[in-house]
Amino acid sequence: MRFDFTDLRLFLAVVEAGSITHGATAIGLSLPAASERLRAMEAASGVRLLERGRRGVAPTHAGEALAHHAALVQRQMVQMRGELDQHAEGLRTIIRLMAPTAAITEFLPGRLAPWMAANPHTDIDLQERQSAQIVRALTAGLTQIGIISDTVSTEGLLLRPFAIDQLVVVVPSGHPLAARKTVLFADIVHEDFIGLAEGALQDNLDGRALIAGARLKTRIRTRTFEGICRMAAEGVGFGIVPATTARNCRGFMKIVAVRLADDWATRRFSICTLDQSGMTPAVRALAEHLASTHDKFSMARS
């Protein structure tokens, strides 16, 4: 059988996304082209590699074996490119970085900016994912650095502290809930909410509501946490945002932040990578920079 590198990248992307459509999009292929490649891979191997279902696709046992070896090949290709980059003058390097919503909006801009300014030949492909998806992407070689919460298993991966994120409920200053210091998600799950248009945090909140036996009554969705705070200040509904956002918005909005007391609402983010032997110099330098800024940013936000 003959699989080229695009075949392997496609298969890993499809397995990570659980969807042929999303996997194809992730590597820049059209759906017909991706479907044809996957059919050819199954024909060449003589075994079924994916189980197709109403909710997406999942690898068969043979598919899991292929994904394991494809990830190894991809890691070796990344390492090879990194070593060649050291001998190339002025060649641009791209680092793939995945992170949850709060890390992207609240922490990464301030930490990435000085490093990118000091490394003008390095670009960053920043993608938003949930922590469990990020761990799978790292293992499969689809990303080089991940920012993850402490709610997922990370066996075999290297972790370093990054930030602590506390979720709070924002309400108008005159609302009865404003007199409380903490609240449980289950106590407010049936209230009206303002949500995010999309993102890992919103997916998490929607999932938490289902676990609590409810469905969030979302009156409107905005693109930013600040938008949520603005609408909450006018009494449109409750908003759930990182504490750092609420602190920044309190200076010019009449809102009160009430801490969510659920264990999952306090999230400790870590920088997650494979072992250092497989990192390129640029990836290692960025990971070390993000780790070195942990104490400074934690003290500044406390």
**Rounded to whole angstroms, how far apart are CA atoms 292 and 285?**
10
The predicted model gives 221-232 an average pLDDT of: 93
Q: CB of 128 within 8 A of CB of 202?
A: no
Q: What is the mean pLDDT of the chain?
A: 87
DSSP, res 107: I
Q: pLDDT tens-digit profile of 92-147?
A: 788 999 998 888 988 899 999 999 999 988 999 999 888 888 888 888 888 899 99
State mean pLDDT over 261-266.
92
Does 277 have pLDDT greater than 80?
A: no
Taking alpha carbons only, the member of 25, 93, 31, 38 closest to residue 70 is 38
Q: Where are the alpha helices (DSSP H) in the chain?
A: 5-17, 20-26, 31-45, 61-85, 101-102, 108-118, 131-140, 185-188, 200-211, 225-233, 243-250, 281-292, 294-301
| HSE value, Cβ hemisphere, 13 Å, CA-based, for 211 | 9
% of the chain residues with pLDDT over 70: 92
Q: What single DSSP character describes residue 264?
A: G
> Which one has a higher pLDDT value, 28 or 183?
183
Tens of pLDDT along 184-207? Answer: 999 999 999 999 988 778 888 999
pLDDT at 208: 92
Is pLDDT of 172 > 70?
Answer: yes
Cα dihedral sign for 197, 149, 60, 12? Answer: positive
**Angstrom distance (rounded) from CA 79 to CA 154:** 22
Please give the DSSP secondary-structure letter assigned to residue 181.
S
Confidence of residue 297 (pLDDT cuts 50, 70, 90): very low
Q: How confident is the model at residue 301 (pLDDT cuts 50, 70, 90)?
A: very low
Can you give the pLDDT at residue 86? 56
**Joined tokens for residue 105:** 């909006």
The model's pLDDT over 69-79, given as tens digits with 9 standing for 90+, comes to 888 887 777 76
Q: Is the pLDDT of residue 227 over 90?
A: yes
pLDDT tens digits along 7-57? 888 999 999 889 999 889 988 899 999 999 999 999 988 899 999 888 889
Angle between the 5-17 and 61-85 helix axes, to the nearest 10 degrees? Answer: 120
Domains, the chain, ordered by start: 5-70 (1.10.10.10), 84-163+269-301 (3.40.190.10), 164-266 (3.40.190.10)
Asked if pLDDT for residue 298 goes beyond 60, the answer is no
pLDDT at 294: 58
Does the pLDDT of residue 217 top 70, yes or no? Answer: yes
Is the pLDDT confidence value at 223 over 80?
yes
